[in-house]
Copies of this chain bind each other. A is one copy, B any other.
Amino acid sequence: MQAYSSLFQRLNHAIQDQQDKLRELSPKEMYDPMDYIIGLGGKRIRPLMTLIGCDLFDENPDNAIQAALAVELFHNFSLIHDDILDNAPLRRGNITVHEKWSHGIALLSGDGMLVKAYDVLSKSKSNHIPDLLKIFTKTGLEVCEGQQMDMNFETTEIVSVADYIEMITKKTAVLLGCSLQMGAICANISVSSQHHLYEFGKHIGIAFQILDDVLDVYADDKKFGKQVGGDIISNKKTFLLLSALHSSNEFQKKKLEDLLMSKTVSNSDKVIQVKEIYDELKVKDLAILEANKHTQLAFEHLNELSANTEKLNNLKEFAHHLLNREV
């Protein structure tokens, strides 16, 4: 996104600076993993959104840089602890913190990183701090709740599509809304405009996550970074699976449940056969419809904002860019 290249550069500079500071701190066992996970990269979408949320209202995005860093640190804290919970060996193609160091160090450096996020936030302008703290903390709790819901789903027999939407909203989408809103707070914007920007980010986040489920099954093998069908293999309760379970007839449901329980069907056969049922039930279309509904909602909120038209268009384009990964 050409329009955001200068914001992105500003952000990367601040992240680099933050990493330099982390390297100076001790004990190193606590701070090195923070530097390590930030260094693994990622698209930096959340902190970029914070700068965008500020820049949108023609305020100097430097005023939102602490908030942006707080968002990125929080996101990375959640990755360290989620990787412990998921027993994940890899993160962004690299060894996870708990594997590289230990579970204890991953636990503690994650805790420290969460507090560090607040430390960075506390260096924002004093008059912004109360509002920043409220939305950041409300969102932090929701992200934890979403993660707990996701864990609960693994052992819950019947999960509704509505429960699923609530889970992804909390686990993923609200942090996008929060990131934008924090930028808007730093631009001294009205509560009502903050709200519209938050809702825009949240609904884009929901759409993004649903399309992510679609991508996991229908992506082009050659272009997809991970194994296509991974969610099917691991019986993950995605929008597609839950919609399929919900809309299937008795025969299809039985077949689907047998595939989920089977210990003899190979992974590749399982993917092929589950996909056949998905296709029969047109759950891909359902998912795209649901994602479009949220994209539509997001843009309605964006249209409520009084801001520079070109900047609003850039944000729309950015949202499309995020959502239109190849399916």
A177 within 8 A of B: no
Give bound CA distance, A130 to B127, whole Å. Answer: 8
Contact, CB under 8 Å: B129 / A144:
no
Which residues from B are CB-within-8-Å of A130? 122, 126, 129-130
A104 within 8 A of B: yes
Contact, CB under 8 Å: B115 / A147:
no
Give bound CA distance, A30 to B171, whole Å. Answer: 14
Question: How many A residues, CB 8 Å from partner?
Answer: 38
Contact, CB under 8 Å: A118 / B140:
yes
Contact, CB under 8 Å: B81 / A107:
yes
With A27-B152, A107-B85, A151-B108 already in contact, the answer to whether A137 and B122 are too (CB < 8 A) is yes
Task: Select one of B29, B107, B112, B144 contacting A112, CB under 8 A.
Answer: B144
In this complex, what residue of B is CB-closest to A170?
A: B27
Give bound CA distance, A133 to B133, whole Å. Answer: 9
* 75-117 of chain A: CB within 8 A of chain B: 81, 84-85, 104-105, 107-112, 114-116
Which residues from B are CB-within-8-Å of A26? 145
A159 CB to closest chain B CB, in angstroms?
Answer: 13
With A81-B107, A85-B104 already in contact, the answer to whether A30 and B119 are too (CB < 8 A) is no
In this complex, what residue of B is CB-closest to A120?
A: B137
Contact, CB under 8 Å: A151 / B118:
no
Contact, CB under 8 Å: A29 / B152:
yes
A305 within 8 A of B: no
A247 within 8 A of B: no
Give bound CA distance, A64 to B111, whole Å. Answer: 25
Task: Select one of B27, B118, B141, B148 contacting A149, CB under 8 A.
Answer: B27
Task: Select one of B30, B134, B144, B145 contacting A148, CB under 8 A.
Answer: B30
A13 within 8 A of B: no
Which residues from B are CB-within-8-Å of A148? 27, 29-30, 105, 108-109, 112
A226 within 8 A of B: no
A293 within 8 A of B: no
29 A-B pairs within 8 Å (CB atoms) are namely A26-B145, A27-B145, A27-B149, A29-B152, A30-B144, A30-B148, A81-B107, A85-B104, A85-B108, A105-B148, A107-B107, A108-B147, A110-B111, A111-B111, A112-B141, A112-B144, A112-B145, A114-B114, A114-B115, A115-B144, A116-B141, A118-B118, A118-B133, A119-B138, A122-B130, A129-B129, A129-B133, A130-B130, A133-B133
